[in-house]
């Protein structure tokens, strides 16, 4: 069976319990604006809703969607969880963010709400956690 002519990956969707808040964190981190946002639907908590960042030349190469998940649990990374329980939520994906200077980018990320993960497996990568616990990597090279 031939591949369809029009089949393109366009975005990454990130689950969280406060999507508009997390979208604002990444917008600030990357120097872009939140392009679209929806409030919580009737019956949902105020923190629910949806938000989107769209590509901006030199700052963001893909669309990022932030979606509300009423059962969101922050992921555990690396795969061996600190509690030792195999049932803990594991990371399924993470963002890689290219930077010129790791120290400068790490300081900026921390200043806007990220934390530096205690486990740093490579010298040219800084593993960070966003305010909702998703890991992302700052990297050079």
* 60: pLDDT strictly greater than 60: yes
Q: pLDDT tens, 80-96?
A: 655 655 556 666 788 99
| In the predicted structure, residue 136 carries a pLDDT above the cut 90 | yes
Q: Give the CATH number for residue 123.
A: 3.10.180.10
Of 26, 34, 68, 29, nearest in space to 54 by CA: 34
Whether 41 and 63 map to the same domain: the answer is yes
If one counts the domains in the chain, the total is: 2
Integer angstrom CA distances of residue 103 from 94, 114, 126, 127: 20, 14, 9, 12
| Residues constituting the chain | 141
Q: Please say which residue of 20, 42, 71 terminates a domain.
A: 71
Give percent of the chain with pLDDT exceeding 70: 91
The answer to whether residues 77 and 133 belong to one domain is yes
Residue 74 has pLDDT above 60, yes or no: yes
Co-location of 79 and 96 in the same domain: yes
Domain termination site, one of 51, 71, 91: 71
Of 13, 57, 11, 66, give the one whose Cα is nearest residue 37. Answer: 66
Identify the domain containing residue 77 by its residue range: 73-141
> Is it the case that residue 138 has pLDDT exceeding 90?
yes
* Predicted local confidence at residue 44, as pLDDT: 96
């Amino acid at each position: 069976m031939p591949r369809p002519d029009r089949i393109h990956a366009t975005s990454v969707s990130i689950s969280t319990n406060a999507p508009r808040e997390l979208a604002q964190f990444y917008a600030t981190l990357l120097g872009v604006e939140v392009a679209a946002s929806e409030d919580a639907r009737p019956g949902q908590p105020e923190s629910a809703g949806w938000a989107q960042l769209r590509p901006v030349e030199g700052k963001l190469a893909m669309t990022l969607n932030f979606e509300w998940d009423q059962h969101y649990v922050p992921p555990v990374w690396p795969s061996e969880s600190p509690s030792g329980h195999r049932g803990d939520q594991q990371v399924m994906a993470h963002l890689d963010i290219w930077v010129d200077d790791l120290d400068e980018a790490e300081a900026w990320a921390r200043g806007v709400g990220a934390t530096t993960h205690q486990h740093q497996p490579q010298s040219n990568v800084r593993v960070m956690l966003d305010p909702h616990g998703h890991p992302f990597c700052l990297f050079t090279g």
